[in-house]
Structure formats: C-alpha cells, structure tokens
Amino acid sequence: MASKQSVSTQPSASDLQVSRVNTELSWQPMLDVPMTTTVQLSRADVIKPLPFSAEHLVPGASGNRMMPPTFIKLVCETFTIRGVGRLNKGPRFLRSLWLCFVLIMTVGLCLTISLLVKDYLLYDVTVNLHVKLDATSEFPAITVCHHQPFSHRAYRDWRNGVGISPRVFTQKIRERAHQHLLKNEVGFAEQIQANLGINFYYQHLDYQEALNYGHDTSIFLSCMRRTGKYKQIEGNCTLLDGFHIRRFNHHTYFNCYTFDPSSKQDGEDTDVLSLVVGMGPRPDDEQAFITDIFEMARGLR
C-alpha cells in the first residue's frame, strides 16, 4: 500500500513534458488572435471614420444632416430657460414632469403678456389739446379769457328770472341724481354727478345765450401800444391802431378776445402792448374766480 501511494503521487518526467507542451499549445492561439484582430480594427478606423451614431444619418441623403431628435437635443442643451435643459437628462418620468412644467410656464407667460397689453390699451391716453383758431395770429398776439366767465349782464338777467343760472341748473341736476338714487340706479346718479360743471352747463345753452352771458369788450379798461418813441393810450381798445380785436367762444371761459396785429409789419413794429382788464362790479366777484385770477394768467403768447 505504501509503494502504490508513492508511485501515484510523484509524476514522471514524461508526464511533466506532456503537460508543458499542452500548456504552450493552449496559450499559443490566445496570443495570436487578439493581435490579428487589433491590427484589422486599427486599419478600419484609419481608412473609414465611423459616424457619431447611426441615427444621425438620413437614408438616401447626399450629406449627413441632423434628425429632429438631435436638433431638439441641441436646443435643450443650449437654452438657458429654467427646465428646458432637463428635458434631455434623467429618467423619462422626470423629463415628462419638466416638459409639463415648461409648457405650463410658457402658456402662463403668454397669457400674462396678453392681459398686460389688454389692460394697457384700456387706459386713456393723455393728449395735450390745442384750440386752433380759424385765422392765424401774427406775433405779438394776445388772447384774453376772463377767469370769471359770466358778465354783469348775465347776473342781472338771472336775478330778474331771465334764463337759467348755473346754480339753478346744478340744483336741478342734483335733484335728478337724487331721484335715480331713490330708484337704486347708482350708475346713472354717478354719471350725472360726474358731469356737473361749467362745461356741462355750457353744452345746454344756445350759442346766442352763451355770447350774451359772456363778457364784451368793455372789460378792457385801457390799452397802450408803444412803437419806438411813440405811445398810444386808448380807453376804448377797439380804437387802438395796428390791432383789431377778434372774439371766440370757449366752453370754460365763454367769451375770449384776441388782439391780432393788422399786418405783419404792425406786429414787428410793436415794442409793448399793455392791457388793463376789469373784474366787473364788486357784487359779482366770487371767491373761487378771484383766487384763479391772482394765481394764473393764460393767453399771453
């Protein structure tokens, strides 16, 4: 038993030789095949470059053009809008959420801009109105409008019951507004109250009544014109040389008067033109108009 175990555990020289040969033969193909394959792949890379991806090529096209998915990918990677860059990255579920977010924000942006534009167009645009007269005035031309638009003749007629005064007119309008309030017609009442004023009163007068209620040329107590060393002073301004007076009716000031040069030469020769305007009889002086007279002056050009 001992001799058999010693023989079986110790290999002979022939067995070692066969094992060495088999090992060399088994390793020889493994060394040759990778070398041959590597050389062939490197030659293919040099002769024919591979495209980026098979989906980048359009079948039947002369050149290599980008497909729409590639263009969308480029857009997603280029845009800096929040959420667009994430449409090309991450799981499909997260990309779907980002796509919904981008679409909702885009629609919201468009709606917001449209509402802003709509609200902007609803606002009234401020326009500086300029009353252009029928005839142009040569320089220097002076337009005088009395801040107390009603003449002494108008107050006399109203005291005698002729015509309707602004105070009576306002009372009737307020009574009409009160009737609408009792009927719960708030809109009509607010509209009536908003129209109260001299302009609204002027619209309900005949043209001849508006002329009669306004001032005449008697408000000009004195006028003086200086041309060089020559001075002309007149108590009746209609007699002033080189100028003529033109009247026009205004919706706020009623009768206004413009002193126009008779000719261009008369206007150029005039150095000074002075006017003294009366305020009317003292009983007709009202505090509201007196304040405006001493604080404002319009019509001097």
Could you list the mean pLDDT of each consecutive 10-residue stretch along the chain, which spans 301 residues? 43 48 44 44 47 46 52 71 73 82 88 90 64 61 84 87 86 84 82 77 85 89 90 90 89 88 87 84 55 46 37
**pTM (predicted TM-score):** 0.47
Q: What is the pLDDT of residue 113?
A: 94
Are 139 and 271 within 8 A, CB to CB?
Answer: no
Closest to 259 (Cα-Cα) out of 208, 301, 218: 301
62: amino acid identity, one letter: S
Order of strands, edge to edge, in the sheet holding 230-234? 230-234, 220-227, 272-277
Nearest in space to 202 (alpha carbons), one of 213, 190, 188: 213
Can you list the pairs that 164-173 forms with residues at least 24 positions away whose Cβ atoms lie under 8 Å?
166/198, 166/201, 169/201, 169/204, 170/196, 170/201, 173/200
Strand, coil or helix: what is 109? helix
CA dist 203 and 193 (Å) reads: 15
DSSP for residue 59:
T
Residue 196 and residue 250 in contact, taking contact as beta carbons nearer than 8 Å:
no
- Please state, in angstroms and rounded to a whole number, the distance separating the CA atoms of residues 39 and 243: 112
Say what the pLDDT of residue 133 is. 56
Residue 244, SS3? Answer: strand
**CA distances (Å), origin 277, targets 146, 245, 283:** 9, 14, 17
User: What's the chain's length in residues?
Assistant: 301
pLDDT at 110: 93
